[in-house]
Amino acid sequence: MNQIFWPIVKTILFSVLVPGTVAVLVPRWIIGGFFLPQKALLSWTGIVLITCGTAVYLRCAWEFAVRGLGTPAPIAPTRFLVTTALHRRVRNPMYIGVALVILGEAALFRSLHLVLYAAVMLGTAHLFVIFYEEPTLRRQFGKSYDEYFGSVPRWIPKL
């Protein structure tokens, strides 16, 4: 129990601080606060994207804590390579989930600035993945990561 408890607690803390800032506080600052949307179609589109993105992130964070016995945070990484659930289809589903939340907010609040912010966030994530995450995972997990890297795409899910 203790082996899983602390990774879950640390994952919750990380999720509130980092994705919470990226997907909630920064968008709120960009658009000058949240207000009620006025277009029903965009509202529903935004709600669906936010819900899906949140579900994607939470499922992956759970897998990191329970299966990987670690967190999404680089300072408290998983002890085991997580290749289950959504990670079977794409290597970076958490970033995709956060981007979906931001794009949902863009639709909900009709903000082109948030669309641009989502693009910047994904571009930054892409560079972080290439120059930090992938080399780190390769060193940490060796051949098992190389096999995973070769069989699962980075961004476009394998269906």
Domain ranges of the chain: 2-151
Enter the pTM of the model: 0.88
Compute the residue count for the chain: 159
User: In the structure encoding, which two tokens stand for residue 81, read together?
Assistant: 């390579």
pLDDT in single tens digits along all 159 residues of the chain: 678 888 898 899 999 889 888 998 888 888 887 665 666 777 899 999 999 999 999 999 999 999 999 999 999 999 999 999 999 999 999 999 999 999 999 998 889 999 999 999 999 999 999 999 999 999 999 999 999 999 999 999 977
Determine the CATH number of domain 2-151: 1.20.120.1630
User: In the structure encoding, which two tokens stand for residue 101, read together?
Assistant: 């939340």
DSSP at 142: T
Please give the full DSSP string across 142-156, using - where no structure is assigned: THHHHHHHHHS-SSS
User: In the structure encoding, which two tokens stand for residue 33, read together?
Assistant: 């606060």
16 touches 71 (CB < 8 A) = no
What's the rounded Cα separation, in Å, for the pair 69 and 143? Answer: 20
What's the rounded Cα separation, in Å, for the pair 18 and 130? Answer: 19
What's the rounded Cα separation, in Å, for the pair 73 and 59? Answer: 15
6 touches 73 (CB < 8 A) = no
